[in-house]
Chains A and B, each alone.
Chain A
């Protein structure tokens, strides 16, 4: 079991197995969370990982800048360690950006089209 602390819900803490996506594990324990597609493609359930590690290899919604800013997709992310997360739209300060005013660098695109400037790319296909 690992411990998930939600920093913007009075640091409330929940024990999770790490075997199911955090969305399911936390909702099962009564945490009210937004979600949409439930397969990692639509960003509605995005949360910010402040500390800890998750496995979210199957997400396809985030670009590399969002990943570097700590965003995780709760409907597919499984906890690998104890984590501190921030949930809901309060955590979305850096998630949305005006694409005309704040363009992405080639290495900040989604994994399948990003250039290889940054080595730490967990989401490289195959």
Chain B
């Protein structure tokens, strides 16, 4: 941190030049596993020079059981770079089931973070009528968090607004318009735009996945374009069968770009959206992962593309197919015409890589975080406790795993790193499941430039 500026980096190009990550944080859950222990934030040593490289070196337990930690986000990012009073110090870690939001101090001792404050789940329900927290983004010094339901777990939920001291301001949005469901969101301030996606109501997805509920329109199939300043939706992109269960939304990091992407999990498609010359938002399907035959299944297996990620230089798009078991890298220099440049396998139902670096993999590639320089990708294998239990019941005994992929940023290509694996099946309290990861210095899914 230099004295002149706030958190993050002046530009994506500066972020790429940041020092290599030495630690990363990932959440690990016991909720839904049968082990009566709190979920925790694990610190993983990712410094190859360290004697504890590729190991969990600290576990911060949450105060109670049953949170289901899932995604998380920083209190500040590069959107505060000009504000020397701010620093990237706190990680906000919501519990999807408990509704609590844990504010974790990662700066006082980065190897051993500690809980700074708990925003109580019942207080959030009482003051804002929201439950089922998901995506955390900071907006300058303020923080907004998407919630998938109201206090009773019914859609569409909305957005919680916290101030920089993590006090509840209220609801962020002025209107949800006719949005039926919430999930992920990303904003691009220079275009005064936010795009949000749709999973389902907490009462629908939390107990597990009933495929029939897709046909009953209990799951999403739209993207929503917001007027960011007015805090209200202005356009709906109806994706239909091409966009069943549209989950993660990412804009390019270049703040001038209007191009963004969404992974439609059940359709296993990537949707590309952008602002046309007349100011209207357009979309197209640019990647379509075919369902794959399975020896024991009467129907082919869909990919289940549960996450996407854009490299800091906006050159590569990464996708996963949780049920197939592959991670892919696409060159998106022309975002209308992605080129497949890399693919690796880990776990999955197709039997292509049941073991990685000596560890039997339960689950498939699910969440991933990419280093700022784009060269190291850390991948975890669990999706959500109840969904894991349906598709990969063996994960109860085996736990999750974290795997590292070396990414070639010059010529494209991906390779599983042979020296790194964290087996969460061997955790002291029994097999846990790891999910989203964050680096102390910021990462490819946290920073937005004003």
Please report A residues at the B interface, Cβ cutoff 8 Å.
Answer: 32, 34-39, 41-44, 60-63, 88-90, 92, 95-101, 103-104, 106, 109-110, 113
Question: Nearest-CB distance from B254 to chain A (Å)?
Answer: 39
Which residues in A have their C-beta under 8 angstroms from that of B302?
A: 100
Known: A89-B396, A101-B297. A63 touches B153 (CB 8 A): no
Main secondary structure of the interface of B (DSSP, over half): loop
Chain B residues lying within 8 Å of A36, measured Cβ to Cβ, are 31-32, 66-68, 97-98, 206
User: Shortest CB–CB separation between residue A99 and chain B, in angstroms?
Assistant: 4
- CB-nearest residue of chain A to B33: A89
Assembled-state Cα–Cα distance A118/B324 (Å): 37
In the complex formed, the residue of A with least CB distance to B298 is A101
Bound complex: CA of A113 vs CA of B299, how far in Å?
24
How distant is the Cα of A119 from the Cα of B54 in the complex, in angstroms? 56
On whether the beta carbons of B213 and A109 are closer than 8 Å, the reply is yes
Q: Is B203 an interface position by the 8 A CB rule? A: yes
> Which residues of chain B have a CB within 8 Å of any CB of chain A?
31-34, 36, 65-68, 97-99, 131, 152-153, 202-203, 206-213, 216, 218, 296-299, 301-302, 385-386, 389-391, 393, 396
Which residues of A lie under 8 Å from residue B391 when comparing CB positions? 98
Cα–Cα, bound, A24→B293 (Å): 46
Q: Which 9 A-B pairs have the closest CB atoms?
A: A36-B97, A89-B34, A43-B207, A61-B207, A41-B153, A42-B206, A99-B211, A96-B389, A36-B66
Question: Chain A's nearest CB lies how many Å from the CB of B408?
Answer: 35
A97 to B393, CA, bound (A): 9
Q: List 16 A-B contacts (CB under 8 A).
A: A34-B31, A35-B66, A37-B153, A37-B206, A43-B206, A44-B31, A44-B386, A63-B210, A89-B33, A90-B34, A99-B390, A100-B297, A106-B212, A109-B216, A110-B210, A110-B213
Query: With A44-B31, A100-B297, A109-B212 as given contacts, are A34 and B206 in contact (CB-CB < 8 Å)?
Result: no
Tell me if A41 and B396 are in contact (CB < 8 A): no
- Nearest CB in chain A: distance from B211 CB, A: 4
A97's nearest neighbour on chain B, judged by CB, is B390
Point out which of A37, A95, A104, A109 has the most chain B C-beta atoms below 10 A from its C-beta: A37
CB distance from A90 to the nearest CB of B (A): 8
Complex: A90 Cα to B255 Cα, angstroms: 51
Q: From A38, A90, A101, A109, give the contact of B210 (CB < 8 A).
A: A109
Q: Which residues of A contact B97 (CB under 8 A)?
A: 36-37, 42, 44
Identify 15 new A-B residue pairs, CB closer than 8 A, beyond the known A36-B97, A41-B203: A34-B65, A35-B65, A36-B68, A37-B97, A41-B206, A43-B206, A44-B31, A89-B33, A99-B209, A99-B210, A100-B301, A101-B296, A106-B212, A109-B212, A110-B213
Nearest CB in chain A: distance from B32 CB, A:
6
Asked whether A61 lies within 8 Å of B390 as measured between CB atoms, the reply is no
With a cutoff of 8 Å between Cβ atoms, the chain A residues found around residue B67 in the complex are 36
Complex alpha-carbon distance, A120 and B171, angstroms: 41
Q: Contacts of A62 on B, CB cut-off 8 Å?
A: 207
Residues of B contacting A41 in the complex (Cβ-Cβ under 8 angstroms)? 152-153, 202-203, 206-207
Asked if B203 contacts A44 (CB within 8 A), the reply is no
Contact B36 A113 (CB under 8 A): no
Q: What B residues does A95 contact at CB under 8 A?
A: 389
Closest partner residue, chain A, to B392 (CB atom):
A98
Chain A residues lying within 8 Å of B208, measured Cβ to Cβ, are: 43, 96, 99
B390: chain A residues within 8 A (beta carbon): 96-99
Which of A34, A89, A92, A106 gathers the greatest number of chain B CB atoms within 10 Å? A34
- Expressed in whole angstroms, the Cα–Cα distance for A106 and B389 within the complex equals 23
Q: Is the CB of A37 within 8 A of B213?
A: no
Cross-interface CB contact of A104 among B153, B210, B386, cutoff 8 Å:
B210
Q: Which of B207, B208, B385 has the most A CB atoms < 10 Å from its CB? A: B207
- C-alpha spacing A62/B36, complex, angstroms: 22
Give every chain A residue within 8 A of B65 (Cβ-Cβ). Answer: 34-35
Among candidates A37, A44, A99, residue contacting B131 with C-beta atoms closer than 8 Å:
A37
Contacts of B216 in A (CB 8 A): 109, 113
Instruction: For B205, give the chain A residue with the smallest CB separation.
Output: A42
Q: Given A32, A88, A92, A100, which contacts B299 in the complex, CB threshold below 8 Å?
A: A100
Complexed CA–CA distance, A103 and B211 (Å) = 7
Chain A hits for B212, CB < 8 A: 99, 103-104, 106, 109, 113
The distance in angstroms between the C-alpha atoms of A21 and B208, with both chains bound, is 22
Residue of B66, B99, B153, B211 touching A100 (CB-CB under 8 A): B211
Residues of A within 8 A of B131 (CB): 37
Please tell me if the beta carbons of A61 and B206 are within 8 angstroms of each other in the complex. yes
Residue from B31, B213, B393 in contact with A113 in the complex, judged by beta carbons closer than 8 Å? B213
> How far apart are the CA atoms of A81 and B98 in the complex, in Å?
30
Cα distance, A101 to B211, chains bound together (Å) = 10
Establish whether residues A39 and B209, one from each chain, have CB atoms under 8 Å apart when the complex forms.
Answer: no
